[in-house]
């Protein structure tokens, strides 16, 4: 098994764009939702791997504002999977001491989903282990807008010209955590897809060709090792996925 070099610095915060679930299922002749189930299962393993390394914050991009454009049946299945994760997986993570945070515009979700989001956060708010943040119905541009509106609401008598970067950052969705030192994206794409645009300004970016359900502990170690050198890193190729 691959291990990290002793001189390797463990990031305090890792962010992940989990891309490739549908392609993973298609390669295996399975319906797309099977890929999303496999991807959700991989999150649990990643949380454990990161916690074992001493990572304090893990943020995953689960559902973007653009995902609403997908077929209605797929969106419905994704939301059903989210509810299952918040009810079943969140309980298991809570027992492991994981703190769960949800970011994104929750107003578009049904009452049951909003209730499960609130319950998962309240049930784990006192936990002192790794903080798992799940971004759902989230977009970086939305985050800018909601932060500016929140600042204006808190400062109704101030002109927007008085707003500073430091003040605005306090109203962003991820104000409770430091910026990620490392972003990992799977699936062969080399772009941010409107994810944490403010927070990732100075992050190391490591891209993998492998599809998200295939992302392994060894891949995590490799990403951390590669993030020790400055810059945007070319995709790490996995030839078995090139036919996707």
Active site residue 105: no
User: What is the rounded average pLDDT of the residues 216-227?
Assistant: 94
Strand partners, 184: 16, 206
Please tell me the pTM assigned to this model: 0.89
Q: Per the residue annotation, which of 19, 89, 143, 214 is the catalytic one?
A: 19
CA–CA dist 200, 180 (Å, integer): 6
- pLDDT of 226 > 70? The answer is yes
Mean pLDDT across the stretch 78-82? 89
21 noted as active-site residue: no
**Where does residue 149 rank: exposed (0-12), middle (13-18), buried (19+ CB within 10 A)?**
exposed
Tokens, residue 5: 């070099």
Largest distance between two CA atoms of the chain? 59
Whether the per-residue pLDDT at 55 is higher than 70: the answer is: yes
Which is the catalytic residue, given 67, 105, 127, 194? Answer: 67
Task: Give residue-wise pLDDT tens across range 91-117.
Answer: 888 899 999 999 999 999 999 999 999
Contact between residue 75 and residue 50 where contact means Cβ atoms under 8 Å apart: no
Query: What percent of the chain is modeled with pLDDT above 70?
Result: 91
Domains of the chain: 13-241 (3.40.1180.10)
């Amino acid at each position: 098994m691959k291990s990290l070099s002793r001189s390797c610095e463990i990031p305090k915060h890792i962010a992940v764009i989990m891309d490739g679930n549908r392609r993973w299922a298609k390669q295996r002749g399975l319906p797309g939702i099977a890929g999303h189930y496999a991807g959700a299962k991989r999150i649990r393993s990643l949380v454990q791997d990161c916690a074992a390394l001493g990572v304090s914050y893990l943020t995953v991009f689960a559902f973007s504002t653009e995902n609403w454009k997908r077929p209605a049946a797929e969106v419905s299945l994704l939301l059903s999977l989210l509810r299952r994760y918040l009810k079943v997986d969140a309980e298991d993570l809570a027992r492991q001491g994981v703190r769960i945070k949800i970011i994104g515009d929750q107003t578009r979700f049904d009452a049951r989903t909003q209730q499960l989001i609130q319950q998962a956060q309240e049930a784990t708010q006192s936990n002192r282990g790794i903080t798992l943040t799940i971004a759902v119905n989230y977009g970086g541009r939305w985050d800018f807008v909601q932060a500016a509106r929140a600042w204006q609401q808190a400062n109704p008598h101030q002109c927007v010209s008085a707003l500073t970067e430091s003040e605005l950052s306090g109203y962003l969705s991820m104000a409770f955590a430091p910026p990620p030192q490392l972003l990992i994206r799977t699936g062969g794409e080399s772009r941010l897809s409107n994810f944490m645009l403010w927070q990732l300004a100075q992050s190391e970016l490591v891209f993998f060709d492998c599809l998200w359900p295939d992302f392994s502990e060894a891949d995590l170690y490799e990403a951390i090792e590669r993030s020790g050198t400055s810059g945007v890193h070319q995709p790490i190729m996995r030839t078995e996925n090139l036919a996707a």
